[in-house]
């Protein structure tokens, strides 16, 4: 399982990130102090580090200097939004730089991109009795294979990676169709209906008023 360290001095933010990345299938640990973060990095192996800049003990830039020789990918997550701050973070070797406040769906997407870049992608997703073998591109429910179209499969992966999170129609359409969402189109609705029926998720894959859909597991 992919292991991610969250380093942020605000525990509510750590908890928010932890909940959403855990729902997407990642194993997370969090710490709110710079020196404690370094201690944890020395003691355990992580596939990715989400790093705040303004931390007690040691700031994120100094921690980045320590991490760089270890070849662990880092995404800065910080309130420091000026161009000079972004440039500094990227020049220090960070793979990405996300400014607070951020959308958790965007965060999960950025995490996926960075992990793919380092060939550290998850091979398996689970949601209840549903298992998705990402490498073989196979889906089973209670051990029985489920045949999905490419678009249905794309939607399924997004929903499982964002369990219990409301996803905007625009986000779903952009990620799966790679195009801008057209408000009067029923394409997305029809695909969700078919996916709901095939997966037996009539009570799990819910419409969220004026937003989109949420998979409750």
**Annotated domain spans of the chain:** 3-117, 124-215
Q: Do residues 99 and 79 make contact, with C-beta atoms less than 8 angstroms apart?
A: yes
- The pLDDT assigned to 165 comes to 85
- Structure letter (DSSP) for residue 142: T
CATH 3.40.50.2300 fits 3-117, yes or no: yes
> CA 184 → CA 56, 66, 172, 202, 206, distances in Å?
50, 52, 15, 23, 20
Q: Which helix (H) or strand (E) holds 3?
A: strand 3-7
Q: Do residues 167 and 213 make contact, with C-beta atoms less than 8 angstroms apart?
A: yes
- The pLDDT assigned to 119 comes to 80
Q: Do residues 197 and 52 make contact, with C-beta atoms less than 8 angstroms apart?
A: no
Lowest mean pLDDT among 53-57, 100-104, 132-136: 132-136
- Structure letter (DSSP) for residue 208: E
Q: Do residues 22 and 14 make contact, with C-beta atoms less than 8 angstroms apart?
A: no
Helix ranges restricted to H, 118-186:
150-161, 169-177
Alpha-carbon span 54 to 76, nearest angstrom: 11
**Averaged pLDDT for residues 18-39:** 89
- The pLDDT assigned to 85 comes to 79
Give the chain's radius of gyration (CA, Å). Answer: 19
CATH class in words for 124-215: mainly alpha
Burial class (CB in 10 A: 0-12, 13-18, 19+), 122: middle
pLDDT tens per residue, range 95-119 = 999 898 888 888 988 998 999 888 8
- The pLDDT assigned to 122 comes to 66
Pick from 166, 61, 28, 51: which is nearest to 98 by CA?
A: 51
**Averaged pLDDT for residues 60-87:** 88
**Mean residue pLDDT across the chain:** 89
- The pLDDT assigned to 135 comes to 75
Q: Do residues 123 and 134 make contact, with C-beta atoms less than 8 angstroms apart?
A: yes
**Averaged pLDDT for residues 3-10:** 94
Given the DSSP bridges, would you call strands 167-168 and 144-146 parallel, antiparallel or unpaired?
Answer: unpaired
Pick from 192, 170, 166: which is nearest to 179 by CA?
A: 170
- The pLDDT assigned to 181 comes to 72
Question: Do 3-117 and 124-215 share a fold?
Answer: no
């Amino acid at each position: 399982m992919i292991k991610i360290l969250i380093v942020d001095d605000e525990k509510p933010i750590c908890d928010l990130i932890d909940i959403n990345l855990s729902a997407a299938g990642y194993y997370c640990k969090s710490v709110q102090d710079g020196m404690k973060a370094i201690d944890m990095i020395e003691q355990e192996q992580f596939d990715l580090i989400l790093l705040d800049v303004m931390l007690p003990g040691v700031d994120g830039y100094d921690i980045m200097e320590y991490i760089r020789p270890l070849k662990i990918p880092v995404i800065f997550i910080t309130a420091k939004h000026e161009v000079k701050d972004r440039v500094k973070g990227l020049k220090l070797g960070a793979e990405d730089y996300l400014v607070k406040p951020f959308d958790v769906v965007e965060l999960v997407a950025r995490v996926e991109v960075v992990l793919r870049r380092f060939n550290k992608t998850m091979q398996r997703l689970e949601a209840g009795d549903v298992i998705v073998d990402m490498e073989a591109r196979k889906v089973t429910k209670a051990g029985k294979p489920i045949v999905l179209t490419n678009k249905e499969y794309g939607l399924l992966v997004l929903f499982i990676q964002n369990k219990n999170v409301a996803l905007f129609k625009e986000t779903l359409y952009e990620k799966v169709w790679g195009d801008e969402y057209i408000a009067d189109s029923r394409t997305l609705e029809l695909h969700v209906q078919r996916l709901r029926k095939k997966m037996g998720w009539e009570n799990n894959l819910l419409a969220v008023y004026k937003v989109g859909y949420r998979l409750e597991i």
